[in-house]
Amino acid sequence: MYKILKAEQLTANIFLMDVEAPRVARHCEPGQFVIVKMDEKGERIPLTICDYDREAGTITIVFQPVGASTTKMKELKAGDYFRDFTGPLGNASELVEEDIEELKKKKILFVGGGVGAAPVYPQVKWLHEHGVDADVIIGSKTKDMLILEKEMEAVSGNYYPCTDDGSYGHAGMVTTMVEELVEKGNKYDVCIAIGPMIMMKFVCLLTKKLGIPTVVSMNPIMVDGTGMCGACRLHVGDEIKFACVDGPEFDGHLVNFDEAMKRQQMYKTQEGRAMLKLQE
C-alpha cells in the first residue's frame, strides 16, 4: 500500500499528489512514469513522474481526470492509499544520458502545454541542478489553467507563459512564442515538446521548418502502460513503436501524429462508455 501524503487541486481540472514510494523515488529519472491502481479491481493508470524526493522517499504525480478511473482518483485525500504504485517505468529522458559538459554547450528549449507542464518540470529541474538553464514555454487556455509556475520559474533560464485568451503572459499559441524567440536571435540546438497531441504536432511542423531537432513525449496516448493493450502503438518513421515500452520519448519529426490521434480518439470512446457507467 502506498500512502498519499498530500492531495492538492491545482486548477479546476488538474490535481497533484505526493505519494510515499521510497523504492520508486530512489531509482526514478526524469521522463519516466508509474502505473497506479486504486484497489484490487482498479484499472491501471499510467502517470508521468512530475517530481521526486529521494531522501523523503516521495513521488509527485499530476493528473487531469479524463476518464472513469482518474475521475474516481481525484476524490482521494491525504491519508488514503493506492493499492499499487509500480515504477519507475519507461525510458528516462535522453538528456539524462548525455554528457553533462556537452549539454552545457547546448541551448535547450522546452515547450509544454496544459498538464504537459508536469513532465517538463523534472527535466528542467534536473538540468538546472546540473548547471544547465533551459528556456521554457508553457501554454494554457487561460491564466487559471497554468500549473507549476513558481516551480518552473525557479529552475528555468527564461520562463515564457502563454495563454490562448491573452489573459496572462504571451497572448497566443506556444508556436507563435517559439517563432518570436527564434526571430529574436535565439538559436536552439534541441526542443522538447510535451503536451496535447495537437500541440506537439504543430510544434514539430514548425521546428522542422526552423531546423530544430525536436523530441516529443507520447505519454498522452498510453492506456495500460504495459505493452499489451496496443493503444500506444505508433509509427515513428518506418518503424512501429509502443510509447510505453519503446518511449515515451521519440523524434518528433518522425512521429505520425495523425495516426496516433485517430487511435487516441478510438480509446476515448471506450473511456466515454466507462464514464457513463460511473454516473449511473
Number of residues that bind ligand FES (CB under 6 A): 14
Count the residues in the chain: 280
Q: Does 228 bind ligand FES (CB under 6 A)?
A: yes
- Report the run of H or E that residue 171 belongs to, with start and end: strand 170-171
Among 82, 242, 250, 257, binds ligand FES (CB under 6 A): 242
Among 133, 149, 179, 224, binds ligand FES (CB under 6 A): 224
Residue 157: closest CA among 104, 231, 233, 94: 104
Question: Is 207 exposed, middle or buried (CB count within 10 Å of its CB: 0-12, 13-18, 19+)?
Answer: buried
CA–CA gap between residue 140 and residue 161 (Å, rounded): 8
CA–CA gap between residue 54 and residue 40 (Å, rounded): 27
Question: To the nearest whole angstrom, how small is the minimum distance from the Cβ of residue 150 to ligand FES?
Answer: 32
Among 152, 216, 231, 236, binds ligand FES (CB under 6 A): 231
Among 68, 132, 181, 232, binds ligand FES (CB under 6 A): 232
Which CB sits closer to ligand FES, 152 or 232?
Answer: 232
- Report the run of H or E that residue 230 belongs to, with start and end: none
Residue 22: closest CA among 70, 73, 58, 69: 58
CA–CA gap between residue 275 and residue 280 (Å, rounded): 9
Q: Does 194 bind ligand FES (CB under 6 A)?
A: no
Cell numbers describing residue 61: 504525480
Q: Which stretch binds ligand FES (CB under 6 A): 29-37, 133-141, 210-218, 221-229?
A: 221-229
Which CB sits closer to ligand FES, 78 or 228?
Answer: 228
Distances (CA, A) of 267 to 21, 80, 99, 202: 30, 29, 39, 22
Among 225, 248, 249, 250, binds ligand FES (CB under 6 A): 225
Q: Which stretch binds ligand FES (CB under 6 A): 62-70, 82-90, 187-195, 216-224?
A: 216-224
Question: To the nearest whole angstrom, how small is the minimum distance from the Cβ of residue 233 to ligand FES?
Answer: 7
- Known binding site: residues? 62-64, 229, 232, 244
Which CB sits closer to ligand FES, 46 or 113?
Answer: 46
Which CB sits closer to ligand FES, 50 or 234?
Answer: 234
Q: Does 164 bind ligand FES (CB under 6 A)?
A: no
Q: Does 230 bind ligand FES (CB under 6 A)?
A: yes
Helices (H), the chain: 22-27, 68-73, 94-97, 100-104, 117-129, 149-155, 174-183, 197-210, 243-246, 257-279
Q: Which stretch binds ligand FES (CB under 6 A): 122-130, 194-202, 229-237, 257-265?
A: 229-237
Q: Which chain residues interact with ligand FES by CB under 6 A?
A: 222-232, 242-244
